[in-house]
Structure 1
Amino acid sequence: MTDSRAYPIGRPHTPWSDADKAAWRARAQIQRSYQTEVVSAIRALANRFELLQYGALSYDTERYPLLALKSHDWQPHKPTVLISGGVHGYETSGVHGALAFAASRAQDYQARFNLIIAPCVSPWGYETINRWNPNAVDPNRSFYPDSPAQESASLMRLVDSLQIELLAHIDLHETTDTDELEFRPALAARDGIEYVKGTIPDGFYLVGDSDKPEPEFQSAMIAAVRQVTHIAPADSDGNIIGSPVQQTGVINYPTKKLGLCAGLSDAPFVTTTEVYPDSPTATAEQCNQAQVAAICGGLEYISNRNN
């Protein structure tokens, strides 16, 4: 249903002007440190990986370097897997789940896969706890040629520079209460449309690619995560966030059409993870470990399938 609450920026039914976007940007405040919480953790792993700086955000190039970890033992014959987090910077376990995987489990897979791990694609969003970048652009709707989001364009250039075909891409996200309290109302205001209230699923779920769904791959990840935290149920209409449930805890989107990070390549095995950190029955550490479990479940499935 539509919601009559007015967002504090802009006029009803009118897309935002540049002045409105500036007013929105002025509300953003630094709430945590990318350098302290993320960059230091990435650099601490430099002895286990090749550390890559694949760009820096023009908003503040010193404050916001874009960093990735690449397998030391990179071999052309091994399949390559991309793990990305923090495309929506406010989604904390996407960032720290990627870091936790790199620190605790990546060594279990480096003999079988070339790994590229980009833990925080949107560091400004991480610091300000925002879904968008400072230009009110959603990086996770901007993975296409001539992207308006430098966060998205930089990651695409990194992948292109490797000159390889990805076998898999696992993109780590969260669905939070603030999606309905702040971010979707802001989206409606930005675009000059009515805000239609949605529901937040309580639990972990996956978003596969409707053009190449790979249900067994998704099922393996759900089974692994189930050992760590609960899986989101379908709502009374059989949906999760408005999309039909394909199997327990799995929905599908057309990732390329929507410009999602998971659609940046032609990898056959792709998924977006979604953790619910506001659940009364899940801790922040469980959310991080659910991300790790999803990655491991997916990699085990691919490895066993290829044997």
Structure 2
Amino acid sequence: MQQLEQEKPYFIGQPGVPWGETEKAAWLAVQEVQRSYQADVVSVIEGFQGRFDVEQYNTLEYSNLTGENYPLFAIKNKNWVVNRPLVLITGGVHGYETSGVHGALRFIQEHLEHYSQFFNMVVAPCLSPWGYETINRWNPKAVDPNRSFYEASPSAEACHLMSYVHALEELHNAKVFAHFDLHETTDTDNSEFRPALAARDAKPQSSWNIPDGFYTVAHSEKRELDFQLAVLAEVAKVTHIAPADESGGIIGSPAIAEGLIEYSATELGLCMGFTQAKYVTTTEVYPDSANATPEKCILAQVAAVTGGLDYLKSLKDEPNR
């Protein structure tokens, strides 16, 4: 790995000095809305009314920062069955990772009814609507939601989802059994977001080769290798799996199988680590590949979920609910 270029400081802040409120406000001031959450996401969710249970689980109160508040939605299959395993699908934890959002919506549209024969399912397609609109990794407070899934979190996006899911578990007396968290790795991870992180925290960040292809991230405390491989096998029917780099890794982490790395997800505050689910995976699509298209990226996300669900459905022993 090589260090990010330090000779040219990030355009906000002073080198070696962590950001304060002034720098965060300066960063927010240059963010621009580039697409519409209402038109692209909410309008699709509204079309699910009747087929599924659509719940607004909270609102992001950002009008004092961005001039707008954002409703947050979850979609559940109707007619939940007691003792069926509970499956959670999340998208748009990082709002700029487009196929995570639209992959979740496509799964609802085309597959939720089928898999609700075997699982009770809840899908939160877009946790970070402001990030979706401005194509950002952070929220308006310069907080990364996907490092913030812990008690007393500074991320409203994380807090609202955790509260909703934990209340759902209590209501139905069932813990989440499997969790699919849909993400992307993009060229802007190195060109924009890691330099911004280095500036915000005044800590040098390492760059790494952006992998050309799809990969998944397992939870190191519950790897469940066969499950991860089932996800990757189904995705491989749609798009190419990312090869390891010359050091045998992917984004700076050792590859434990083709297209698979692992993180200590709960310790890092990752979305996939906040439940007690036995089967968890974070998907990573590479939309900037010469071989990628927006549609192919969406299909890869859907394939990851269906591949994992088909594996869970095939388990001979009854899952621990």
Q: In 2, Cα distance between the equivalents of 1:199 and 1:191?
A: 22
For 2:117, the equivalent position in structure 1 comes to 111
**CA deviation vs aligned residue, 1:54-90 (integer Å, no higher than 9, x gap):** 1000103964100010110211210000000000000
Deviation at 1:196, TM superposition (A): 2.7
Please report how far the alpha carbon of residue 25 of structure 1 lies from its aligned counterpart in structure 2 after TM superposition. 0.5
Deviations 1:137-178 (A, max 9, x none): 000000001111000000001101112201100000000011
Partner in structure 2 of residue 138 of structure 1: 144
Structural mapping, 1:249-260, within 5 Å: 249-260=259-270
CA contact (8 A) 2:61 2:69 kept: no
Report the CA distance between 1:50 and its aligned residue: 0.4
- One-letter code aligned to 2:175: E
Following the alignment from structure 1 to structure 2, what is the Cα–Cα distance between the partners of residues 263 and 39? 27
Secondary structure of 1:52's partner? strand
2:96 paired residue number: 90
Residue 48 (str. 1) matches residue 51 (str. 2) = yes
- After TM superposition, give the deviation of residue 106 of structure 1 in Å: 1.2
- 154, 157, 173: which is aligned to 2:160? 154
Query: Which residue matches 1:277?
Result: 287
**Which one of 240, 246, 260 corresponds to residue 256 of structure 2?**
246
Matched letter for residue 41 of structure 2: V
Structure 1 range deviating more: 2-11 or 126-135: 2-11
**Unpaired runs of 5+ in structure 1?**
none
1:98-146 deviation digits (Å, cap 9, x = unpaired): 0000001111101100000000000010001000000000000000011
Distance in 1, matches of 2:270 and 2:194, equals: 17
Aligned AA (1:280): A
What is the one-letter code of the residue matched to 1:28? Q
Q: Which contiguous aligned blocks of 4+ residues in structure 1 show a shift greater than 6 angstroms?
A: none
Q: Secondary structure at the match of 2:142?
A: coil
Equivalent of 1:224 in 225, 234, 256: 234
Q: Is the 8 A contact 2:272 2:281 kept in 1?
A: yes
Residue identity over aligned pairs, in percent, reads 55
Superposed counterparts of 1:160-199, under 5 Å = 160-162=166-168, 163=170, 164-199=174-209
Aligned to 1:29: 32
Q: 2:82 aligns with which of 76, 86, 91?
A: 76
**AA of the residue aligned to 2:267:** K
| TM-score normalised to structure 1 length | 0.98
Q: Is the 2:62–2:68 Cα contact (8 Å) retained in structure 1?
A: no
How far residue 6 of structure 1 moved from its aligned partner, in angstroms, is 1.2
CA contact 1:35–1:63 (8 Å) conserved in 2: no
Where 2:310 maps in the other structure, the secondary structure is helix
What CA RMSD, in Å, does the superposition of the two structures yield over aligned residues? 1.1
Report the Cα distance in structure 1 between the residues aligned to 2:194 and 2:138, rounded to whole angstroms: 11
SS at match of 1:126: helix
Matched length: 307
AA at the equivalent of 1:55: N
1:7 is aligned, of 10, 28, 47, to 10
| Secondary structure class of the residue paired with 1:256 | helix
